[in-house]
Structure formats: structure tokens, C-alpha cells
Amino acid sequence: MEDARQRVVSPRGGSLLGPEEAARLIRTGEWLAIGADEAVMKRLPEGNWIGGTIPYFMGQDGGETSREKVHVTPLPSLGRGKPWIKRYTVNDLNRICADGPDHGYTLLILPAMTEVHEYYARNAPEFEDMFLKPVLGWVAGIHLDDMGHASPAAVDGSRGEFCHDQAVALHVPLPEDQVAEIGIVNIFEQDDGDVIRFPKASFKVGGCTVNGQPDNFAEYLKRRNVDQRLPLVADYCGSMINVSVKAVDDASRSVELYAPVFPDVEYQLARPVKDYVHAFEQALPNEGRDAACSFNCVLNFLYSELEGRRTSGFNGPMTFGEVAYQLLNQTMVYMSVRSM
């Protein structure tokens, strides 16, 4: 029997709407998280929302790519105090948790491929109050066809301003009898095989060791004919954390990554997944099915061909990275708010 103290009090979040419907919802004054292509997001009114650019979604009718629709998630915000929006640069991003409410949560949106994105990825585990206060969010992106001539943005909806070089956070107090819980769904696990280490923290790697022997990671992937859709996986005290491959540059013998690797961590390639939707269903805990909000990775969307397919009603933007305290790749992050 479910413990009454653990009953879910937050709404099940997220719908893919037309811009007019989204605008009407904004005008109600509700606190919202929004994802949309930049052009359509610029048509939305100012209000109580933060957002990030992205045209990939898991909507109520399944996976969808759209430059015309808006994904809107109403956020739990029933605390005594009023939520507040704050922007961050690399000079004060380390304050993200310390600035947050003593009892509540923080939703953070980072623009991809920027200095604040890299700074958060490298340093978030060392921030003041990290892991003591709930912080989750996602990395804003762009349509992959626009690579090279468009830039992602985090959006401060209270002023209708697009931040291409700043992070935007929404700090949300909660009542004393409620608690925000963050979960991670990762369908990847380490395969049996080589142990890979890297000499320094970096988004771009060349030299590495494989089973203790010097090697080059780009050449290793090519030599082993590795499926580059599979991430590197590290075991962080029992939690599987992915690092996804962005591109391999044969000329420079280097590999670009969507998250940094670290020198004190052992990595292995992920075990192949035959059916993403089935694997996702198997990995999803029951309590996650009542999530107030969720964010899934665009690589899962693309590699698993989720266009038109559903993932248990978990609606949200398909992102360039996920935040569950630290930066993640090829995962789904969700939050539920529960009574204590």
C-alpha cells in the first residue's frame, strides 16, 4: 500500500501547444517552463516563465520535430514565497544552489556550446550547496540543420530576453510539507570490455589509456569500428553517467564530446540497446510516472527514432544535455514533488 506521506501533489507536466494557446497560458500568470524554436518563442508574451530554444519534443501525441509549436510545462510553485528568475554568467554560476530557496528547487537552463555550459559541466559538483538543494534542468539547443549559423539561447520570459551567453534559473520555494525529488533514467550500462581513462578534464580528447596502455581515442574508435551513437559510461558510486560522442576529427586525431571526461574516472563503452522504448519502459521507476516535468536527450530522440513514438507520457523538450545536479548526456531527468 502506498504511504500517504509519499502521495504525489505535483501535476503531471507538459503539453505541446500552438503559440496562441501557449500565450493564453502565460497570461494566466502561472509559472512555466517553455521550449520552442527561437522564432516562435519570440512571439510569446512576457510573463512568469523561463525557456530554452529547441525544436525537438516528446509531446502528448509522441515524438515530434516542430519549428511552430511550443512545449509548455506548468511548474509546482505553491510555497510561501514567490519564485524568482535570475541570470548567471561564469562569474557567479557557482552561486546557483546557494542562491536557491532553503526549501524548494531550482530549474536551470544553459545555452549549449557556450562558456557557461562548459563551466557548469566542469565545475558543478564543486559548487556551494550542490547536492544539498535540488537543481535540475536542461541544455538549450537548435535544429541540427542550423548548426554553424544559429546559436542556442536560454530565455528570461519575465523580460522576453534571449540569453546566448548566460544561464537562466528559476528558483522555486515549496511548502514545508512538500519536497522536490529528482530522478534519472539511463538505459545505458557499461559493456564488458576495455577500461578507458583520459589525462585531463576536457570536452575534446585525443590521448588516452586503454587498459593502462597509451592510445589515441579517435584511432581507438576507428580501429574497433565502434558505433559512435553509444556513449562512454562511468560508474559514479553506483550511478551510470554517460558522456556522448559529438564528432570525430580524423585530421587532428581528436574526439569532441557533449560533456567533459575527467582524469580520475574510469570509462567503458555502453552496451548496445536493441529497442529504446522497451528499454525505457523497463528502466522507468513507478514514482517517475507522476513527474511534474521531464527532459530527455535529443540523441535518444534521433538514434532511437522516436519521431511519432511515445515514452509513457513523459512529455518535454528533447535537449542538448540534461541537468540533475551535474551535467548529463543521453539520459532522461524528471522531477516529482511529494508530500512529506
**Average pLDDT for the chain:** 89
Q: What is the CA radius of gyration of the chain?
A: 19
pLDDT digits (tens, 9 = 90+) for 8-51: 333 456 889 999 999 999 999 999 999 999 999 999 999 999 99
**One domain for residues 104 and 212:** no
Element holding 137 (H helix, E strand): strand 135-140
| Cα–Cα distance measured from residue 276 to residue 272, given in angstroms and rounded to the nearest whole number | 10
pLDDT digits (tens, 9 = 90+) for 74-126: 998 776 789 999 999 999 999 999 999 999 999 999 999 899 998 998 899 89
The domain in which residue 212 lies consists of 202-269
The pLDDT value recorded for residue 194 is: 96
**One domain for residues 82 and 219:** no
The pTM of this model reads 0.88
- Which of residues 269, 295, 323 is at a domain's end? 269
As for how many domains the chain has, the answer is 2
Strand pairing report for 322-324 and 326-328: antiparallel
Grid cell 553509444 in the structure block, residue: 230
Residue 75 lies in a domain: yes
Inform me whether the pLDDT recorded for 3 exceeds 80. no
The pLDDT value recorded for residue 5 is: 33
**One domain for residues 89 and 223:** no
**One domain for residues 107 and 225:** no
Residue 74 lies in a domain: yes
| Cα–Cα distance measured from residue 319 to residue 296, given in angstroms and rounded to the nearest whole number | 6
| DSSP state, residue 25 | H
